[in-house]
Amino acid sequence: MRFSTILAILGGFVVSVHAQEALLALAKELPECSLACFTLEIPKSTCATNLTSECMCTNTALNAAVGACAMQSCTVYELLQTKNVSSNSCGVPVRYSGEKFIIIGTTGVIVSTLAYILRLCASMGKRGRKLSWDDLTMGVVVVLSIPPAVFIPYLVNNGLGRDMWTLKDYQITNVLYYYFMGEIFYVVALGISKISILFFYLRVFPAKEFRMKIYAVMGLSVAYTIAFFFATTFQCIPVSMAWNQWDGLHKGRCNDIHLQGWIAAAINIVMDAWVMILPLNNLAKLNMKLKQKLMVMSMFSVGIIVVFTSAMRLYSLVHFANSKNITWDYVEAGYWSLVEINVSIVCGCMPALRLLVSIMMPKMRMTFNSSRGDSQLSRLTNQSKSNATDTNKGVNISVKPKSGDEGDFVPLVDLESSNNRAQPNDSHSDSEHKEHPSHSMKESLSHEQLDGWPMATATMGKEHI
């Protein structure tokens, strides 16, 4: 069958010996289905009187006709094979961007793991901060960030960062499998990173009203994490369709994966922004020097970096929404996902690293103490809670300054009702100020050339992906 088709192509046209050799080589590599389309469409094209590789590569009408024909008779993988043969015969260079994915992913996991190790180091010694739920949950995030990094060599070795049509069918399946697994770890890690930061807020802010807000946001974060964990895991039924559906040969159904990804990313950005701005109103009302206030607010605002990376990932998801070359286009979304996880870890660890910052930059004076022993923090928090029972009224924070080389941060403690503060003659108010002689502050704390070649638009045209 193949030999007779080749003869049909060459027999009806006058071609040079060189052209005959090139066309014979091309015909031997093409799948039967697309070879038949060439046989059908070449006689109808202007290449009928000039049958050369150059004509076939540049004739837009011929390529469109062959592509439409192949769409009707070829499987998805046969379309990819045809695109690969077409690209090679036209001299299109092979692309590769896997090294970018390797560098960004590997660097990110190393930096974030180091940040967490330093965070744990800040808890060592007599003056170290006692480990609490925020440290534990951030440790879980670090553990969850490791599998996606481990998947990097498997993804790249199977073809992530290369054009889809240059790969074997099993390689495409492997890329989609490891990508799917990485998505699950990504969703859970990001959700728990928010919960970790909220646990940190609970260690810092003793006001009952504000703590209720923290618990509310924490509940939403838990709900978001659980909901999108299941939505991601069961985006296809059966689950294996998530990495098998591309070839159009498997039976099952899948959600609109792109729409689901956009919704998850958009909600994630809103949650990141909410967690970041949650304490800023309280911090803005602190009665301290502007420089100190700005420094303390900037420390709490590092989450803007996480919001930025989340936005960049969402942009990449929108960018490849209609991708017909997923192993090439998924690189950008992949490394932004890794960056987002790693940046979340680093930003979440920054408050605990203030001692290291103080040593490296002794002139930089922070204004927040999160690294004192947990016993002291608990004592101060308990004292504060007793003075913050009237949550409908404004509250004040007494600041107990530290002395010595480590006096960079000031513990935000001792909430007092503004009603007591408004009555200086009140005996209870006087006793409170005598017991805590401190300052006061308010708190409410040249591939485009392929567009005409048959498989340029037909590669994923059957909507199997």
Mean pLDDT per 10-residue section of the chain, whose length is 465 residues: 49 50 72 86 79 80 88 91 88 89 92 90 68 90 94 94 93 95 94 92 85 93 94 93 91 88 90 86 72 69 82 83 85 91 89 65 47 42 46 43 36 38 44 43 38 37 36
Give the count of alpha carbons within 13 A of 208, CB side only: 14
Q: What domains sit in the chain, N to C, each tagged with a CATH number?
A: 2-74 (no CATH), 98-359 (1.20.1070), 374-443 (no CATH)
Q: What is the pLDDT of residue 279?
A: 83
Segments of 359-418 assigned E as strands = 395-399, 412-417
78: exposed, middle or buried (Cβ count in 10 Å: 0-12, 13-18, 19+): middle
Neighbouring residues of 277: CB distance < 8 A, sequence distance ≥ 6: none
- From the centroid of its chain, how far is CA 249? 30
Please state, in angstroms and rounded to a whole number, the distance separating the CA atoms of residues 140 and 117. 13
User: CA angle at residue 236 from 231 to 240, to 5 degrees?
Assistant: 120
Q: Which residues are 397's β-sheet partners?
A: 415, 441
pTM, rounded to two decimals: 0.73
Asked, as a colleague might, if the bond just before 238 is cis with ω within 30 of 0, I would say: yes
Q: What is the pLDDT of residue 348?
A: 86
